[in-house]
Structure 1
Amino acid sequence: MYRARTTIEQWRIFQAVVKFGGYAQAAHALNKSQSSLNHAVTKLQMQLGVPLLEVKGRKAVLTKIGEVMLRRSQLLTQQVEDLELLADSLEQGWEPTLTIAIEHIQSKVLIYQALKQFLPQSRGTRVTLIDTVLSATQEAIIEENADLVITADLPQGILGKPLSQIKMLLVAHREHALARQMNITFDDLIQHLQLVIRDNGKQPNANHGWLRAEQRWTVSSFHEAIKLLEQNLGFAWIPEHLIKNQLNEGILINLKVKGGATRQITTYLVVPNAQHQGPAAACLEQLILQQFGIHTL
């Protein structure tokens, strides 16, 4: 087993001498004697067998080797600090990991903003984001295998905080045969290829969103469906926020279906195991709600 010749304290002193521009200044900042700092850095250089600092006038200056060692040592001391903070956090019940399951129709822009705010408060918590579709989202809630879940369908007996309204549009390419029709009927739709997003749950509902079109292709994501739509292949239900550019440019159009070709879907933020929610999950939950303009007591 490798045995270190140097200590974390030596590297911290070395960094302080560089940061404050000399032994006297660093000694004042660290509330230590100048001689103790000088001794620590001298011993560090002897143990390593390379020069890290050279004194020019009254200032300690990094050598070329010292520049490299400074960068690497800063990573080392930061990792030690993170490790110590993580131990403190775990002792206080702060979760080491969080899993967030997000129904695939949800726009993630505001969620990313919440995660950006969460990072400096995270205390080293590892976050896993999972894209779920339909029954997989329900399973994340029922089986409590995620700390936070954003769903478009609340299981029976489950409460959630309304998060956003998602507008779903039935769309096709501008050159598609359906694009030229007015008052499209159900019988018109079933004669054409429909693109359907695959339910990625353990017991998927293969017919969710299917309009009984005779031809049907199943894809793994909306992004894949959009690529196919852009090639004038089929029609599909797509969240409006994912195809704003294509709609503005006229590449895709909202079909003129008799009775309407739009659906409004409410998404909810759910804490599957609220009674045992930890402080990290509670912190991220509040940040997400704040980003969506939802204020709680």
Structure 2
Amino acid sequence: MSNYRPKTTVEQWRILQAVVDHGGYAHAAEFLNKSQSSLNHAVAKLQQVLGIQLLEVRGRKAELTQAGQVMLRRSRQLTQTITDLEQLADNLTEGWEPEVRLAIEMVFDRTPLVPVLQEFEHASRGTRLTIEDTVLTGTLEHISEKTADVVITYHLPKGAIGEPLADFKLELVCHPNHPLAQHDEAFAQSELSQHLQIVIRDTALSPREEEGWLKAEQRWTVSHFDEALRLVKSGLGFCWLPPYITEQAIRDGQLKRLQLAGSSHRRGQLYLILPKGDNAGPCARRLAELILAHCKGDPMQEAAE
């Protein structure tokens, strides 16, 4: 281990920052509720132990030297790190989590989450947020294994308690020139088996293929709706996709909705779940509250239907 001992203190750097930010010793002293002489002494001592001049007084104003500008920038990183560390200690004392994981079923339109995350950023106290796209049984694994703090899912596992959040919808689509698109009327499901289906990969560690809508023997698997959309728009296969993904391409004539006999679309309910139940932390609960406040029965979700 190094025997190095710091020559300076965090308080000295905070005083230097205050002198610069408030335009001089007098205003900085008032802001910090300290005497002007104590600030003068702290900055003088700082310059002495460093062996460089940080400030020079011009008229009544203290201005940074070139070296002072460099040191000030680096000192702000130091004091912010100390602030974050102290906030983390407070958070841990209060049970406030240092990290929150949000797992979202991919059929959920993320647009309403933008104001949620903007508000959460201010309320999070520096908590790190991880957002994970999940599909089918991958979402359910996060609930059963309690590996996520907040989950948006289309399916409530047995014994789980969830708050209804929004509806979701999946439509069967393909390229306008695809053979399936040539039907003017609804056609039988048996015709799907003759064509390539694009499916979204189940994110579970142990996926169960009975979940979902797999009607074709020929299947290509992709990891995200965006990749599925790209393939279907190029004329490859058909896919079940949510309207928030397809609506622009349908308006532009790049995709066509298919009318399947007895199943023109698939619809369901999305729920918000706290997998850890009563053990959910205060930050996870705050995030869940914000999601429900902004997204529950969201008109943008309904309009997409």
For the aligned pair, the TM-score class normalised by the smaller chain equals: over 0.9
Q: Deviations over 1:27-63 (max 9, x none)?
A: 2222212111111111111222221111001110111
- Cα distance in structure 2, aligned partners of 1:104 and 1:279: 25
Q: Any conservation in 2 of the 1:172–1:178 contact (CA below 8 Å)?
A: yes
Q: CA deviation at 1:170?
A: 0.2
Equivalent position of 1:46 in the other structure: 48
- Cα distance in structure 1, aligned partners of 2:297 and 2:85: 34
The yes-or-no answer on 1:271 pairing with 2:270 is no
The yes-or-no answer on 1:223 pairing with 2:261 is no
Equivalent position of 2:91 in the other structure: 89
Equivalent position of 2:302 in the other structure: none
- Cα distance in structure 1, aligned partners of 2:26 and 2:212: 72
- Cα distance in structure 2, aligned partners of 1:48 and 1:257: 77
Deviation larger for 20-29 or 7-16: 20-29
Q: CA deviation at 1:290?
A: 0.8
Q: CA deviation at 1:243?
A: 1.8
Q: Any conservation in 2 of the 1:195–1:236 contact (CA below 8 Å)?
A: yes
Deviation larger for 10-19 or 25-34: 25-34
Q: Identify which of 108, 122, 131 aligns with 1:129.
A: 131
Equivalent position of 1:106 in the other structure: 108
The yes-or-no answer on 1:258 pairing with 2:257 is no
Equivalent position of 1:200 in the other structure: 203
- Cα distance in structure 2, aligned partners of 1:56 and 1:294: 61
Equivalent position of 2:8 in the other structure: 6
Q: Deviations over 1:175-232 (max 9, x none)?
A: 1111111222112222111111121212212243344323221222211111110110
- Cα distance in structure 1, aligned partners of 2:132 and 2:199: 20
Percent identity between the two aligned chains: 51
Moved over 6 A (4+): none
Q: CA deviation at 1:293?
A: 4.1
- Cα distance in structure 1, aligned partners of 2:174 and 2:5: 66
Deviation larger for 170-179 or 17-26: 17-26
Name the SS of the counterpart of 2:172 in structure 1.
strand
- Cα distance in structure 1, aligned partners of 2:56 and 2:164: 62
Q: Which runs of 5+ in 1 are unaligned?
A: none
Which amino acid in 2 is paired with 1:116?
Q
Distance verdict in 2 for CA 1:33–1:132, change over 3 Å = same
The yes-or-no answer on 1:246 pairing with 2:256 is no
- Cα distance in structure 2, aligned partners of 1:219 and 1:144: 26
Q: CA deviation at 1:260?
A: 3.8
Equivalent position of 1:188 in the other structure: 191
Q: Which runs of 5+ in 2 are unaligned?
A: 299-305
Q: Deviations over 1:73-125 (max 9, x none)?
A: 11211111111111011101111111111111111222232122111221221
The TM-score normalised by the length of structure 1 is: 0.94
- Cα distance in structure 1, aligned partners of 2:9 and 2:256: 65
Q: Any conservation in 2 of the 1:255–1:261 contact (CA below 8 Å)?
A: yes
Root-mean-square deviation over aligned CA pairs: 1.6
Distance verdict in 2 for CA 1:101–1:211, change over 3 Å = closer
Q: Any conservation in 2 of the 1:198–1:206 contact (CA below 8 Å)?
A: no
- Cα distance in structure 2, aligned partners of 1:214 and 1:136: 23
Q: Any conservation in 2 of the 1:196–1:209 contact (CA below 8 Å)?
A: no
Name the SS of the counterpart of 1:109 in structure 2.
coil
Equivalent position of 2:75 in the other structure: 73
Which amino acid in 2 is paired with 1:151?
T
Name the SS of the counterpart of 2:293 in structure 1.
helix
- Cα distance in structure 1, aligned partners of 2:219 and 2:88: 50
Deviation larger for 279-288 or 43-52: 43-52
Q: Any conservation in 1 of the 2:166–2:296 contact (CA below 8 Å)?
A: no
Deviation larger for 187-196 or 209-218: 209-218
The TM-score normalised by the length of structure 2 is: 0.92
Deviation larger for 106-115 or 228-237: 106-115
Q: CA deviation at 1:23?
A: 1.2
